[in-house]
Amino acid sequence: MAEALPDLGPNLDPRVFDSEAFQRDPFPVYKQLRDHHPVFHDRFHNRWILSRYWDVDAAFQDNGSFDRAMYKPDGPYDFGSRHVFGPNILEYGNSDEHRRLRNIVAGQFVGQKLNDFLPMIDRISQEVIERFIDDGEVEIVSQFSSQVPIRVISNMLGLPREDEDTFVGWYQDLIAGLGFGGEYLARGLKARNDMWDYIDPMIAERRTNPGEDLLSRICTAELAGGRMSVEEVKGFVALLLAAGGDTTDKAIANMWYHMMYTRPDQFADVRDEPALWENVFTEMMRYDPVVHAQFRYTTREVAMHGEVIPERAGVILYLGAGNRDERAFKDPDVFDIHRDDLHMGRENRSGRYKDGKNGHLGFGIGQHFCMGYAMARQESAIACTMLARGLKNVRPKFAEHDGIIAPSIDSGGFRAPRELWLEFDR
């Protein structure tokens, strides 16, 4: 569960953000920020930091002041780096172009279109489980969570099943490249290029001869008469691997970590009532979400809490800190899947709910609110339910665990356990 956080007082040395201790347990520093520096000017990294729930919410909502793309005085946007994904939705800031790209594809991941894919998620989870069901033990991260979402995406796209393992290999290289950089990055970019070469002729084929798969739908989806260009389709597929695959991968691992180590008592409830996996998902996305930080640039001066953030400043929004704000949630440092002050059902882009409860900030809010929110929730819940059902008397293999960590919280590094070993009866 949770011990009371140490009170670090007002003195904050910004070099702490680069420390291993912070990547492991950022929450005491988050509390220090919320309590003593609701607007923190980090001169060492040349950026500003917001950490309270309502301030992070307000910044996400305020398109007039906070933009995701780098603001340029002499032109609307300096497009973000496209060297990894190619042209993609992440680089268009708050522009109309962003809305266009988003709306061409957003509908594919919600409602009936999403429902069409759910039986396949069941099937894939089952197939992956069968590979280790006779072993009596499993390392979740490498054998399950990093396997299911990427195979789901491959099948959604309608790639031939015999190519699935190759696709998983590209995924692993690309993700390692994003996470570790250096020589890994070179390999990651090669994997991306191989994938693009592979997918290029398929795009041409499905544009003229579309089926029911996601790739066909993306290729042919129209908005006000416009379609995505071939380059945009390729960029979107590459992005999908990271934004849709790696995130859900980590979500599943985190959910199991919390059920095995943080609240084993509540795991009993979840076993009895698998529908509660959705609560596990929601509370995980609050308590220690996969993504803790998003970056924005100010497009004008912003005055808050007696400070003035200048125009064209870089601002970090700590969703991970807002989620632990005692101003929004009582006993915020307790992980509890039965929490009555958190909106437990599906998220809204507005962050506002009819039940009057506050939502988690783990998908962001507003114009850039996660496009895969419904899919991530369903897929995580299904995969976890199938695994819990498949593994008899499942328990942690080791009594101790070194916890959840991110490669780099501030550059958006995804948080997860490195390894998670389970044992079960054969």
Partner 1 sequence: MSKTVTVDRDKCYMSGECYYNHPELFRMDEDGYPVVLVGKIEDAALEQHAREAAEVCPAAAIRLS
Measured from the CB atom, the residue of 45 and 99 that comes closer to partner 1 is: 99
198 binds partner 1 (CB under 8 A): no
Measured from the CB atom, the residue of 258 and 296 that comes closer to partner 1 is: 296
Measured from the CB atom, the residue of 14 and 366 that comes closer to partner 1 is: 366
Q: Closest separation between CB of residue 114 and partner 1, Å? A: 12
348 binds partner 1 (CB under 8 A): yes
Query: Are the C-beta atoms of 171 and 241 separated by less than 8 Å?
Result: yes
- # residues contacting ligand HEM (CB under 6 A): 24
349 binds partner 1 (CB under 8 A): yes
- Indicate which single residue of 352, 392, 395, 418 sits in contact with partner 1 (rule: CB under 8 A): 352
For residue 291, give the nearest of 414, 112, 404 by alpha carbon: 414
Q: How far apart are CA 334 and CA 330, in angstroms?
A: 9
- Indicate which single residue of 54, 79, 295, 353 sits in contact with partner 1 (rule: CB under 8 A): 353
348 binds, among partner 1, ligand HEM, none (CB under 5 to 8 A by kind): partner 1
Phi, psi of 313 (to 5 degrees): -100, 150
For residue 292, give the nearest of 416, 133, 118, 153 by alpha carbon: 416
Which string of x and - marks every residue 92-131 that binds partner 1 (by CB under 8 A)? -------x---x---x--xx--------------------
- Indicate which single residue of 169, 314, 366, 396 sits in contact with partner 1 (rule: CB under 8 A): 366
Measured from the CB atom, the residue of 34 and 98 that comes closer to ligand HEM is: 98
Window 37-76: residues binding ligand HEM (CB under 6 A): 68
Measured from the CB atom, the residue of 102 and 227 that comes closer to ligand HEM is: 102
What residues does 258 pair with on adjacent strands? Answer: none
Helix axes 277-287, 264-272, angle to 10 degrees: 150
Q: How far apart are CA 97 and CA 42, in angstroms?
A: 32
Q: How far apart are CA 301 and CA 303, in angstroms?
A: 7
372 binds ligand HEM (CB under 6 A): yes
Measured from the CB atom, the residue of 300 and 392 that comes closer to partner 1 is: 300
Which residue type occupies 283? E
DSSP 412: T
Query: Are the C-beta atoms of 74 and 302 separated by less than 8 Å?
Result: no
243 binds, among partner 1, ligand HEM, none (CB under 5 to 8 A by kind): ligand HEM
- Indicate which single residue of 322, 362, 413, 417 sits in contact with ligand HEM (rule: CB under 6 A): 362
Find the part of the chain contacting ligand HEM (CB under 6 A) among 6-14, 130-138, 181-189, 367-375. Answer: 367-375
54 binds partner 1 (CB under 8 A): no
What residues does 302 pair with on adjacent strands? Answer: 309
109 binds ligand HEM (CB under 6 A): yes
Q: How far apart are CA 410 and CA 57, in angstroms?
A: 18
Q: How far apart are CA 381 and CA 346, in angstroms?
A: 12
Window 116-175: residues binding ligand HEM (CB under 6 A): none
DSSP 410: G
Q: How far apart are CA 314 and CA 257, in angstroms?
A: 33
Q: How far apart are CA 178 and CA 84, in angstroms?
A: 9
Which string of x and - marks every residue 232-271 that binds ligand HEM (by CB under 6 A)? --------x--xx--xx--x--------------------
Which residue type occupies 28? P
101 binds, among ligand HEM, partner 1, none (CB under 5 to 8 A by kind): none
364 binds ligand HEM (CB under 6 A): yes
Helix (H, G, I), strand (E, B) or coil at 425: strand
Q: How far apart are CA 197 and CA 174, in angstroms?
A: 15
364 binds, among ligand HEM, partner 1, none (CB under 5 to 8 A by kind): ligand HEM
371 binds ligand HEM (CB under 6 A): yes
Residue 98: exposed, middle, or buried by beta-carbon count in 10 A (0-12, 13-18, 19+)? buried
Alpha carbon separation from 296 to 14, 69, 89, 192, 369 (Å, rounded): 19, 7, 15, 27, 14
- Residues of this chain that bind ligand HEM (CB under 6 A): 68, 89-90, 102, 109, 240, 243-244, 247-248, 251, 289-291, 294, 362-364, 368, 370-372, 375-376
